[in-house]
Structure 1
Amino acid sequence: MEEQQGKVIPIAIEDEVKTAYLNYAMSVIVSRALPDVRDGLKPVHRRLLYAMDELGLHPNSPTKKSARITGDAMGKYHPHGDASLYDALVRMAQDFSLRYPLVQGQGNFGSIDGDPPAASRYTEAKLSRIGDEMLADLKKDTVDFVPNYDESLKEPSVLPSAIPNLLINGSSGIAVGMATNMPPHNLNEVVDAICAYIDNPEISLDGLMHYIKGPDFPTGGIVFGKRGIKEAYATGRGRIVVRGKFTIEVAKNGKESIIFTEIPYGVNKASLLVKIAELVRDKVIDGIAEIRDESDREGLRIVIELKKGTIAKVVLNQLFSHTALQSTFGVINLALVGLRPKCLSLKELIAYYVEHRVDVVTRRTKYDLQKAEERAHILEGLMIALANIDEVVAIIKASRDVELAKTNLIQRFVLTEIQAQAIVDMRLGRLTSLEVEKLQKELEELRTLISYLKSLLEDKAKLMGVIKDELRSVAEKYGDPRRTEIVADEIESINIEDLIQKEEMVILISNLGYIKRVPVSSYKSQGRGGKGMASAKLAEEDFIEQLFVATTHDHLMFITSKGRAYWLKVHEIPEGSRTSKGVHIKSLLMVSPNEEITTVVDIREFRDDTYLLLATTRGIVKKVQTSEFSNAKTRGIIAISLDEGDTLVSALLTGGSDEIMMISRKGQALRTHEEQIRPMGRSSRGVTGMKLDVDDELAGLLRVNDEEKMLIVTEYGYGKRVEYAEFSAHNRATGGQRVYTITEKTGEIVSCVSVKEDDDIMCITSQGKSIKLAAKEISVMGRSAQGVRLLQIERPDFVIGVDRIANEEE
């Protein structure tokens, strides 16, 4: 055999590899992985949508098998594996992947749990209503068509894209040496921003961000901090921190549960639950009793049930630290601009989209103008023929063939070839007067349309107005409220209490210092004179010493026997059941061993115009601005300097101009104005509030409210309501008037509270029994009356506390 003669070209291997790899890299960048800035689509998505358009799969048509769609796209335009085509089709139909799905799927298209879709032979699809907008006006020469891979067909190089797809759906892709990761946005916000840009192309980034607040993910969530968003919008790159959205629910048994209703974008729910379970098993996260997935068609719901006494804030911080419930979305706004990859700012993304729409609308207008002019030209010829119909018929009849007839008509009426053809093709039915009127009307309408289309092409501002109107129409049809919440604060300063349900809580504090909170709903109302129900299983020598009601968002100010003040948020106190012991107060506050909590007050917020009025057993009173206590927290600061042997008995909030009522254990009451007590610094002693007998002590301090009544309760379970109006105002440091006649049977006054007619009250005994009563069941009596029996007391038990349960409206 003769050897084949050939030419050998020596090439250095590194040059060949460099060239070949560069060609491959550019092919991946331009023809596979990056979206076009104009329509926001990669070639595979564009070809799938075009194939669906050619198959007539519009929103009002029946669906077709996905295998048919991917087969058509693969055979005609995209010569790659059908698996990659089907994956792309599936993603366009998933409402958890795309903010505005471009495809409407029928069948199993996968789930947020990472379940795979059914095979393409089982599922069906068609264009969604918003997906159809991507192809609007495609047949009006709005975009360039290029040959397909084998040059047997033509395909669009870009879609007209009546929706700003790249901004509203985002994109992600890994090319060679570069990647894109663009977040989705809200359609209404994007359209408003584009319209603002059209009105003022010099608009600043802050101006655009007035409309586009930040990304809007299909799975919702909460974005923390605007710094990352602004950086991404300004430079095209930035980091956005996203957390799952949650609430905290309290079950009837007192257990708290963290309920996640939204998770960060792109997180696989099933994998997330497995990860949490592993962390609980490995004791990385402590305090979780159970994890349940209660998601259904209504939406996502992950229930994380906590163990009794677990502080939700601690568990949440661990979940956010160790799981994808807090994720970072790294923004890289990389897209193809004229087949070149470019990292784009928000303004550039909008500018390139507007430029594309200007091109599309201009080309569409030219196309419509050409078609209108062609039709008008034919109608003008028909109108000439109808005006001279007898002569036209005579010319046609006299002609030997159609060509001669056309030639004769052109010569006689100065027509064009096209007009003459239209005349000879005209049906006899067009000769009726009604048809003539229709042609005249159509011609007039066409002339108006031509005039309008020409004005569009001549006036840029008018063309921009059309673009704006079309965008607003799209937003009206498909726009929806924002799903992702954006919080201005950075992640560290987020306060969990915004997510904790506001709820009335009974706070119980025992003599030995145990504290707990129990929902008011755990207590059922009883009649007057009942025996009550067990409210705490205490040690034999312990008893309940204080009770009051506050909401989970309030501050609890604790003032000790040594005159120091501390505070906690109510939700930071571990919740217990009615019968549980609670936790020791000293495990929550930094209280020294030789001081005890003597009084507790519920404060909503610390301000200069509200005051804390403190009263001691020896009748000393003191007024301090609440703002002085804002930094007390769990470490404590001085509230009052006490005399040797004196203790705090009561503290209440006042507005600076209230009247107050001091009530002693022996049955005396002094009504005085708080203006008689000047505000003092935290470390002062105070002034004499009420003059007391040697064997008497102050039992309580109330703020006068004529819409309410005083409720007086004695240690052996007797009580009454008394009108404030029965007492006249006196100066401070006087003895006051009789409010109750004390006997051996009633015992001394132990507590007083101000109540409305429709209030409920709670009484607690030293042995831990409680009774909930309606205030209206307790008689209103005069100053010297003994009152009625409120609850049965079996000595040595005695009443130690009473508090009002506020109405929900209050």
Structure 2
Amino acid sequence: MARRTTTPPTDGDFEERIVDIDVSAEMRTSFLEYAYSVIYQRALPDARDGLKPVQRRILYSMSEMGLRPDRGHVKSSRVVGDVMGKLHPHGDSAIYDALVRMAQPFSMRLPLVDGHGNFGSPDDLPAAMRYTEARLAAAAMSMVQSIDEDTVDFKPNYDGQETEPTVMPSAFPNLLVNGATGIAVGMATNMAPHNLVEVVAAARHLIKKPDATLDDLMRFVPGPDLPTGGTIIGLDGIRDAYAKGRGTFRMRAKCAVEQVSPRRKGIVVTELPFNVGPERVVTKIKELVTAKKLQGISDLKDLSDRHRGLRLVIEIKNGFIPEAVLEELYRLTPMEETFGINNVALVDGEPRTLGLRELLQVYVDHRIDVTRRRSLYRRRKREERLHLVEGLIIALLDIDQVIQVIRSSDDSGQARQRLIESFTLSEIQANYILDTPLRRLTRFDKLELDREKAVLEAEIAELSEILASETKLRKVVSDELAQVAKTFGTPRRTVLLESSGVARNVSVPLEVADDPCLVLFSSTGLLARTADASPLPADGERSAHDVLVSVVRSTVRGEVGVVTNQGRMIRIQVVDLPTLPPTNSPPSLSGGHPVSEYVTLEQGETVVGIGSLDPEGPGLALGTAQGVVKRVVPDYPANRDDFEVIGLKEGDTVVGAAELTSEDHDLVFITSDAQLLRYPATSVRPQGRPAGGMAGIRLDGDARVIWFGVVDPTRESRVVTIAGSSTALPGTQVGGAKISDYAEYPPKGRATGGVRAQRFLKGEDVLLLAWAGPAPARAVSNVGKPVPLPEELGRRDGSGLRLTHTVAAVGGSLGASDGPSEGESPQD
């Protein structure tokens, strides 16, 4: 093979000159040169200062430009141009990318550049360099501190016109603190960030005890501390990395299960794994939900802002266990990522894989060398200054003769020579005396010079002691590291866990089990469900918040229907209801949710009860204000969320709805004129949903039905009636209450007039409230607080006793083993 080249001859005409070369040798040489350039000049950091060449050049150039933290920001393009023109001839994009990374708090544990403007996010690119501004961060000043005191070597730049440092003094272990990543030729590096305080503590321990083991150092550095926080799961891989330089660990987002809405729980994500942005997580979750590979998520919102920081809210569907959904998110999305540690760095110009102890040792050796060179430089400078001060002091002691010698000399050279000979001065001292203005040669300046001489001698002695003692030199290094950690240290952000707490081979159910339960509806309009289907406890020491209107047996993933006074039944999911914890006393629905959160009611429409939607379940019994009764055949449509269960006449409303669990139960009407009618349920034949029912009770005059329900005649039951005036405003009367035994009321036929339930006193002409059900009876106010009821009376047609508070609803015992009964429906 051959390579064709052209060379200009002397006559100005170009001619071809063909050189025969071996292609394999040319490729080998070119590839090695390229690989060497990438490894040593671009991709790998130096183990001493943790910087790649481009990063080191940026910091040095910004320091030379005077872009300190106390100065104003300058355009990033100005920094990039200076770095590219003087030190780094590899293109502006590479320089700006490195500058941006050093300014990103989510990329660097301790940022070295203070950026002003849009420097990007984990998901978005930064603005162009002409739009952003930058200056050195305070921590970067520790990286370049004392660089002008001969602490590091310098080398010529690419064209030999400038010089650049081969390494930074680096007052803190930057490689461990900020980590590094880079891909070279045939090798790569990927180092995790750590906490400055922990790394400095380990370095100081190594300085104090050079033979410290890895276990000793890991007491100070237990693991990485990522800029974005999160949680690290499993520490075995971290120890492998600290021992051998290679290892892996799992990063998890920091999440919490919270009540994100009155009806739903959600997973709130406040921290994500390192180098993972929220948009990436959101996109992945949406893809999985669309592909039906991830279940249980109803909504996803990114509520992140500059005040609260990251906040992803993942709303969980009712019926799914949030902890199980979270495990699926960890498994399928970037909310859990693996970080592979590969500690490759340059040591003495060679790439090496280093463990924690080796990384700390290289840095400590470098810092000791920097401190020694700085001490030598400072002692030399002070010795040079002391030499000049001593010369000035000699001149001041005989100032008149010095002036006479200078005045009598023909030129400065002769004056310098005569001063050297007359006062035994060095040439440097003589020149300094000649250059010193006469105004400084006063008695006052003599005192200042004496004080300066004493200070210089003390500093020289101190520096000499440091240089003469390895112990003192190490102490200086350790004290300076402690000061840096005190100045720039921050608390740990990443939580370290040995394991996730959940075995990977243990199957966590994703959905809530379809266990039996009871659905409860209270007089104040609250809905809830119990944790199981055990019968409700009998009324003992009752501390319940409310009385129950309806109790329906169902399953967690089943459905129940809400019945309104307009004859509508509205389907709701049981799993959407809040769960009441198991208790040994009647349940309190103070933890329930208002029924209005589950159904949309029209103006004037109220809920009177709930019923099962199971076609094989008990039928529903309804009673209306105009005395109509109906038993509904449970043939409810499966494809509709709301439907009519009775055809009402104009002006009529449903006053009660209850499940009929047995044909032996009674249907009971109580009217406003204090009439009670009971008859067996067998007296009413079941009808389809569109039917309007049949006559249930005969009403006299303007009377209307105020309560309808189902009562088990085999149980001990009570009838509660509260009488008042029809002219008073609703809800303002206390009224007179009477409690009687249900057995005192004889059963009669359907559509008859019933028997009297209470005798009205003076000022009473109507029943305000009525209820019949299992004993004992209890009453509550309109806010659900208990109201004392009078003692039970034997006469069914007796008059009532005046109450102390207004009663809004009445209920009874719900502890029967044969199933729950109903209470009073809420009033308008």
- Normalising by structure 2, report the TM-score: 0.64
Which position in structure 1 is the counterpart of 2:61? 51
1:225 alignment partner, one of 234, 240, 247: 234
TM-superposed CA distance for 1:515, in Å, is 3.5
Q: Distance in 2 between matches of 1:276 and 1:440?
A: 76
2:448 alignment partner, one of 438, 454, 474: 438
| Counterpart secondary structure, 1:444 | helix
Q: Distance in 1 between matches of 2:456 and 2:73?
A: 37
Q: Percent identity?
A: 43
Partner AA of 1:274 in structure 2: T
Change (3 A) 1:137 1:495: farther
2:815 alignment partner, one of 791, 796, 800: 800
Unmatched tracts of structure 2, length 5 or more: 1-10, 507-515, 521-527, 533-541, 563-577, 585-590, 599-715, 721-738, 744-772, 789-802, 821-828
1:333 alignment partner, one of 329, 333, 343: 343
Matched, 1:308 2:318: yes
Q: Distance in 1 between matches of 2:423 and 2:742?
A: 123
Change (3 A) 1:553 1:365: farther
Change (3 A) 1:447 1:531: closer
Partner AA of 2:183 in structure 1: I
Q: Distance in 2 between matches of 1:484 and 1:424?
A: 64
1:63 alignment partner, one of 45, 68, 73: 73
Which position in structure 1 is the counterpart of 2:472? 462
Q: Distance in 1 between matches of 2:292 and 2:62?
A: 52
Change (3 A) 1:104 1:796: closer
Partner AA of 1:229 in structure 2: I
Please list, as runs of the form range in 1=range in 2, the aligned pairs for 1:397-796 lying within 5 A after superposition. 397-490=407-500, 492-493=502-503, 509=518, 515-516=530-531, 532=547, 577=593
Which position in structure 1 is the counterpart of 2:155? 146
Which position in structure 2 is the counterpart of 1:671? none
| Counterpart secondary structure, 1:138 | coil
TM-superposed CA distance for 1:127, in Å, is 0.3
Partner AA of 2:184 in structure 1: A
TM-superposed CA distance for 1:5, in Å, is 9.3
Which position in structure 1 is the counterpart of 2:285? 276
TM-superposed CA distance for 1:368, in Å, is 0.4
| Counterpart secondary structure, 2:315 | strand
Change (3 A) 1:5 1:175: closer
Q: Distance in 2 between matches of 1:772 and 1:244?
A: 48
TM-superposed CA distance for 1:797, in Å, is 4.5
Contact 2:517–2:553 under 8 Å retained in 1: no
Contact 2:232–2:497 under 8 Å retained in 1: yes
Contact 2:368–2:477 under 8 Å retained in 1: yes
Matched, 1:350 2:365: no
| Counterpart secondary structure, 1:248 | strand
Q: Distance in 2 between matches of 1:118 and 1:514?
A: 54
Matched, 1:256 2:265: yes
Q: Distance in 2 between matches of 1:117 and 1:480?
A: 26
Partner AA of 2:427 in structure 1: E
Matched, 1:377 2:387: yes
Partner AA of 1:800 in structure 2: G
Change (3 A) 1:452 1:19: same
Greater Rg by CA:
2
Contact 1:224–1:488 under 8 Å retained in 2: yes
Change (3 A) 1:770 1:370: farther
TM-superposed CA distance for 1:493, in Å, is 4.4
1:237 alignment partner, one of 234, 246, 254: 246
Matched, 1:362 2:372: yes
Contact 1:533–1:769 under 8 Å retained in 2: no
Contact 1:717–1:792 under 8 Å retained in 2: no
Change (3 A) 1:172 1:380: same
Contact 2:152–2:370 under 8 Å retained in 1: yes
- What's the CA shift string for 1:496-521, capped at 9, x where partnerless? 9xxxxxxxxxx98569x97449xxxx
TM-superposed CA distance for 1:431, in Å, is 2.9
TM-superposed CA distance for 1:229, in Å, is 1.1
Q: Distance in 1 between matches of 2:224 and 2:469?
A: 35
Which position in structure 2 is the counterpart of 1:723? none
- What's the CA shift string for 1:393-420, capped at 9, x where partnerless? 1111211111111111110111100111
Matched, 1:188 2:203: no
Q: Distance in 1 between matches of 2:362 and 2:302?
A: 44
Contact 1:536–1:769 under 8 Å retained in 2: no
Matched, 1:38 2:53: no
Change (3 A) 1:252 1:34: closer
Change (3 A) 1:451 1:248: same
- What's the CA shift string for 1:76-123, capped at 9, x where partnerless? 0100111111111111111111111100011111112x2221111111
Q: Distance in 2 between matches of 1:347 and 1:773?
A: 72
- Normalising by structure 1, report the TM-score: 0.65
Change (3 A) 1:320 1:429: same
Q: Distance in 2 between matches of 1:529 and 1:576?
A: 12
| Counterpart secondary structure, 1:121 | coil
Q: Distance in 2 between matches of 1:10 and 1:326?
A: 54
Q: Distance in 2 between matches of 1:553 and 1:478?
A: 49
Please tell me the root mean square deviation across aligned C-alpha atoms, in Å: 4.3
Paired residues in the alignment total: 583
Change (3 A) 1:365 1:530: closer
Change (3 A) 1:89 1:395: same
- What's the CA shift string for 1:349-376, capped at 9, x where partnerless? 0000001101111111111011000000
TM-superposed CA distance for 1:220, in Å, is 0.4
Contact 2:48–2:363 under 8 Å retained in 1: yes
Change (3 A) 1:240 1:717: farther
Change (3 A) 1:171 1:101: same
TM-superposed CA distance for 1:792, in Å, is 7.2
TM-superposed CA distance for 1:389, in Å, is 1.2
TM-superposed CA distance for 1:716, in Å, is 7.0
Matched, 1:122 2:137: no
Unmatched tracts of structure 1, length 5 or more: 497-506, 518-526, 544-551, 559-574, 582-713, 719-742, 748-763, 780-787, 803-810
Change (3 A) 1:199 1:533: same
TM-superposed CA distance for 1:795, in Å, is 8.7
Contact 1:224–1:491 under 8 Å retained in 2: no
Matched, 1:100 2:110: yes
Matched, 1:133 2:148: no
Matched, 1:177 2:186: yes
TM-superposed CA distance for 1:485, in Å, is 0.7
Which position in structure 1 is the counterpart of 2:121? 111
